[in-house]
Amino acid sequence: MTETLLELKGLEVTFKTRRGTLKAVDDLSLSIKKGEILGIVGESGAGKSMTGAAIIGLIDPPGRVSAGEVWFEQERVDAHPERLRGRQISMVFQDPLTSLNPLRTVGDQLIETILVHMNVSKSEAVQRARDGLAEVGIDPDRLNAYPHAFSGGMRQRVVVALALATEPKLVIADEPTTALDVSVQAQVLDLLKKLCRERGTSVMLITHDMGVIAQTSDRIAVMYAGRLAEIGSTREVLTNPQHPYTQGLMASTPSVDAKSFGKTLFQIPGSMPKLDALPNGCAFNPRCNQVHERCRTERPPLMSDRAACWLMETAS
Amino acid sequence: MHRFFDSDFFYAFRRSPIAIVSLIVVVFMVLSALLANFIAPTNPFDAASLNLMNGFTAPMEPNAFTGETFLLGTDDQGRDLFSAILFGLRVSLFVGLMAVGLAMVLGVLLGLIAGYVGGWLDTLIMRLADIQMTFPSILIAMLIFGVARGLLPAELREEMAITVLILSIGLSEWVNFARTVRGSTMVEKEKEYVAAARLIGLNRWQIMLRHILPNVLGPVLVIATITLALAIIAEATLSFLGVGAPRTEPSLGTLIRIGQDFLFSGEWWILLFPALTLLALALSVNLFGDWLRDTLNPRLR
Amino acid sequence: MSFVVAKDLCRTFDLSEPWIVRKLTMQPKRLLKAVDHVNFEIERGTTYALVGESGSGKSTIANMVVGLMQPSAGSITIDGQNLGNASMNRQEQQRLRRRIQMVFQSPYASLNPRWKVGDILSEPMRAFNLIDGATAQRRRVAELLEQVGMSETDAGKFPHEFSGGQRQRISIARALASQPEVIICDEPTSALDVSVQAQVLNLLKSLQQDFGLTYLFITHDLAVVSTMANKIGVLNQGVLVEEQATVDLFSKPQQDYTKMLLSAAPKIEFSS
């Protein structure tokens, strides 16, 4: 068993609105081990991006982290999460243009990041920046190019280089390939995975795409309406999903398979509830095809460290 | 109606003291202007009721000759200043509202056309707007005012003065409406609901007026409020310069001009009270407009 | 002859600087060939999918087929009638327009936010003089809403009161309101969550069976059309590189580009 790098204990993110307080993340506990790639999957409104933002203190009012603890390398860090930003934890966002300054060359941005966070000389920083670009498959001589000179996929590679330049221990990648074409998406994912494996960097990969998660991560956490629905190793979750939501999510994802022509896709009825209208009990109960009485009144806790579903109880 | 009181908009309103106070002042002034006939103790334009002996009565002091007391004093003609202000407020508000209405209709239509049709029409309209923007709008208004007066036969000048005033202020303030509407129209026309409307064969006017117009009106409301303050001040400026509302139908600006003559001879109230009224009106309209802008559309800032 | 025929379809975009700038800087005109001699045919009652990545020209083709954009060259015929026929009068144009409708990508931008759902759905009926009278229109609106799995009472609500999936259903109902024969689906599910995407795809499929609709389905995601496309055309930079029946395309792709697309598509299976 390898060491735990990051641990969330009962994390709660709330938004105060005039109609009451909404829980965007509700009692979330999970951990990431050193060198591990944890995939967080969920649909829009599941709270997955909020989780990533909460860890590094990027939640803006009226939202706030209202309960829970964040532990990083056995230290409690939720009081000053911004101290970890950049050096220990870096981020990759969906839109490369939010992480790159369009008015400065990629080289300037790489070198500055390295100089700010690492104790190295200027010439060494330049060398590291060149190496970083080379690693993500970009000609180091393009150090002097501006972000707009790169295509979308190349830009995202630059962002990956930027995220890894400070040798962080954790990279939080929030929908890093959603804006990219499929062909480019595969390349960027492979790259991220390869580089993090080589350095032993942990990754929290946040996405709505089960396929992306399946191909990249070691463990999968499934979120629904701000809560953790299921968590487990990629093998366990993909081959033997426990939560009916996970099962439905997988079954309703179409695949490039010659056999699927003419078939009807499995569908989950309804849509994710709004945070101000969560049902009692299990948040998934109105859409669940295996719902029973208890689900409508009592919220299931995470059972056997696997799934938050009352079915787990009857099974064991 | 219930929906309105439950809206975010109303919630934001309730929590903003500035918005509440400025709206109360505006509503109070509009009501007093509307009800001027009933509130005013005298009719300041009825020459028969004026008593020259009452001239220059200071506020709340009995007149030395007649013993009458006036809330805000009287002017040189013995006209009750409080009544004159109420009626002047009516003229100022009427001119302001009509001018803004004219500017709004003109600006919104031109902006819609420029934004939706594009091409040389867009270039023509927006260059015109650019040229107009290089002059202060009060100058434009004076120019239009002068030309219009020149074209009118002399006997109609007094009668048409208010209409000409509305026309000149209205024509000088359309640019902001047109620019904003053009911008929002260019955003809206790329949206798919417009494509859907084109697919069922609607013509340009139907698309512009039925589909796009309702979606660009939010900022127009904000600009209209802010322009109202500008129009009221423009009217006062023109009247103060003597090219606006005539003495027979004095607006706040006209009253200020009259009062100015007596400022240094000690009759300060003739200037002060109309000026304070104008200040309160323009300021509260403006503050309310600012609040509307911040609430409805922070991007316009 | 097939129901929808696109013949030698071309579309170039002029990306040049304004004339005066071009002359001053001595630049040539910059033309982009977005669609380059594309041919395809769609049989009545079937689904044809055009698949391509960004910049492949797939949306340009969609816009040309519904008549929102004119082809630079080539022609589109629907049931033997040429879309670009300039001699049509307004009535004939309207008759042809009614037969071709579109479901758009964005569930947010495709419905006018200031209109109630009932008005959105009855507008095509008025535009094409399909149903007269407010009561009859209301009845038809209710019927349409039911056909897309929503309820009659939804007619009185505004678009923002619905989720993305429900809005896409309303968008489909609006297309159906014209009683069309061909519907162009332009990435109708790419903005939706997976669990909702399946609902919309299944709905489109069952409507096709009920009304004998012909679909042109534009997508970047091969998997999305795996259950319903009879034929798939793969577009790359404006050129149709491969066209096969879906089953064949998935099992024996001919072109390298198609193979790359197939292998790059993320799969939900445990591999390690």
Q: What is the DSSP letter of A150?
A: S
Cis peptide leading into residue A273 (ω within 30°): no
Q: What is the share, in percent, of chain A residues with pLDDT greater than 70?
A: 99
Q: What HEC string does chain C produce? A: CCCEEEEEEEEEEECCCCHHHHHHHCCCCCEEEEEEEEEEEECCCCEEEEECCCCCCHHHHHHHHHCCCCCCEEEEEECCEECCCCCCCHHHHHHHHHHEEEECCCCCCCCCCCCCHHHHHHHHHHHCCCCCCHHHHHHHHHHHHHHCCCCHHHHHCCHHHCCHHHHHHHHHHHHHHCCCCEEEEECCCCCCCHHHHHHHHHHHHHHHHHHCCEEEEEECCHHHHCCCCCEEEEEECCEEEEEEEHHHHHHCCCCHHHHHHHHHCCCCCCCC
Alpha-carbon distance of B100 to B266, in angstroms, equals 37
pLDDT of residue B300: 46
pLDDT of residue A231: 95
- The CATH number given to whatever domain includes residue A273 is 3.40.50.300
User: Contact B270/B7 with Cβ under 8 angstroms?
Assistant: no
Beta-bridge partners for C250: none
- The model's pLDDT over B115-152, given as tens digits with 9 standing for 90+, comes to 999 889 999 999 999 998 888 878 888 888 888 878 88
Contacts of B211 in chain C (CB under 8 A): 112
Distance from CA of C46 to the nearest CA of B (A): 22
Residue A66 belongs to domain spanning: 4-88+168-254+264-315
Predicted ipTM of the assembly = 0.90
Distance from CA of A211 to the nearest CA of C (A): 5
* CB atoms C199 and A269 under 8 Å: yes
Instruction: Answer whether residue C88 shows pLDDT above 90.
Output: no
pLDDT of residue C140: 96
Section A171-188 average pLDDT:
88
Instruction: Answer whether residue B103 shows pLDDT above 70.
Output: yes
Residues of B with CB under 8 A from a CB of C: 191-193, 195-202, 211, 214-215
The amino acid at residue C91 is Q
Instruction: Answer whether residue B298 shows pLDDT above 70.
Output: no
- Domain C4-264 listed as CATH 3.40.50.300: yes
In a domain, A61, yes or no: yes
Instruction: Answer whether residue C36 shows pLDDT above 70.
Output: yes
In a domain, B7, yes or no: no
In a domain, A144, yes or no: no
Residue B296 belongs to domain spanning: 38-48+61-300
What's the token pair of residue C140? 């038809």
A 266-295 residues with CB below 8 A of C? Answer: 266-269, 271-272, 287
Place of tokens 């060259």: C73
- Residue A205 pLDDT class (50, 70, 90 cuts): very high
User: Contact A35/A84 with Cβ under 8 angstroms?
Assistant: no
In a domain, B203, yes or no: yes
Distance from CA of C271 to the nearest CA of B (A): 41
- Sheet-wide strand order for A89-92: A89-92, A170-174, A202-207, A37-41, A219-224, A227-233
Q: Select the more confidently predicted residue: A17 or A144.
A: A144
Provide the mean pLDDT of chain B: 85
Instruction: Answer whether residue B1 shows pLDDT above 60.
Output: no
- The model's pLDDT over C90-126, given as tens digits with 9 standing for 90+, comes to 888 899 999 999 999 999 899 999 999 999 999 999 9
| A194 Cβ contact list (under 8 Å, min separation 6) | none
Taking the Cβ of residue C247 and every Cβ of chain A, the question of whether any pair is shorter than 8 Å is answered with: yes
What's the token pair of residue C167? 């809005």
The amino acid at residue C81 is Q
Place of tokens 């903005």: C191
- The model's pLDDT over B247-271, given as tens digits with 9 standing for 90+, comes to 777 888 888 888 888 877 777 888 8
- Sheet-wide strand order for C31-42: C31-42, C4-14, C73-78, C81-82
- The model's pLDDT over B229-242, given as tens digits with 9 standing for 90+, comes to 999 998 888 888 87
> Could you give the C-alpha distances from C269 to A249, C56, C88, C260, in angstroms and in order?
13, 29, 54, 18
Contacts of C163 in chain A (CB under 8 A): 271-272
In a domain, B23, yes or no: no
* CB atoms B195 and C94 under 8 Å: no
Q: What is the DSSP letter of B16?
A: -
Q: What is the share, in percent, of chain C residues with pLDDT greater than 90?
A: 74
In chain C, domain spans? 4-264
Alpha-carbon distance of A68 to B155, in angstroms, equals 82
> How many structural domains compose chain B?
1
In a domain, A130, yes or no: no
Q: Please report all neighbours of B, defined by 3+ CB atom pairs within 8 A.
A: C
Instruction: Answer whether residue B49 shows pLDDT above 90.
Output: no
Q: Which among A209, A268, A287 is the nearest to C266, CB-wise?
A: A209
- Residue A316 pLDDT class (50, 70, 90 cuts): low
Alpha-carbon distance of B96 to B92, in angstroms, equals 6
Three-state secondary structure call for residue B151: helix
pLDDT of residue B153: 80
- The size of chain B, in residues, is 301
Distance from CA of C253 to the nearest CA of A (A): 11
Contacts of A262 in chain C (CB under 8 A): 227
In a domain, B28, yes or no: no
Ramachandran region, residue A281 (left: φ > 0; alpha: ψ -120 to 50; beta: rest): left
- Residue B301 pLDDT class (50, 70, 90 cuts): very low
Contacts of A185 in chain C (CB under 8 A): 264, 266
Contacts of C265 in chain A (CB under 8 A): 182, 211, 255-256
Q: Specify the pairing of strand A4-17 against strand A63-72.
A: antiparallel
* CB atoms A185 and C266 under 8 Å: yes
The amino acid at residue A51 is T
What's the token pair of residue A195? 């580089």
Alpha-carbon distance of A70 to A56, in angstroms, equals 10
Instruction: Answer whether residue B50 shows pLDDT above 80.
Output: no
Provide the mean pLDDT of chain A: 89
> How many structural domains compose chain A?
1
CA neighbours within 13 Å on the CB side: how many for A98?
9
Instruction: Answer whether residue B110 shows pLDDT above 90.
Output: yes
Instruction: Answer whether residue A107 shows pLDDT above 60.
Output: yes
How many of the other CB atoms lie within 10 Å of CB of A2? 10
Taking the Cβ of residue C122 and every Cβ of chain A, the question of whether any pair is shorter than 8 Å is answered with: no
CA neighbours within 13 Å on the CB side: how many for A150?
25
Q: Select the more confidently predicted residue: B47 or A248.
A: A248
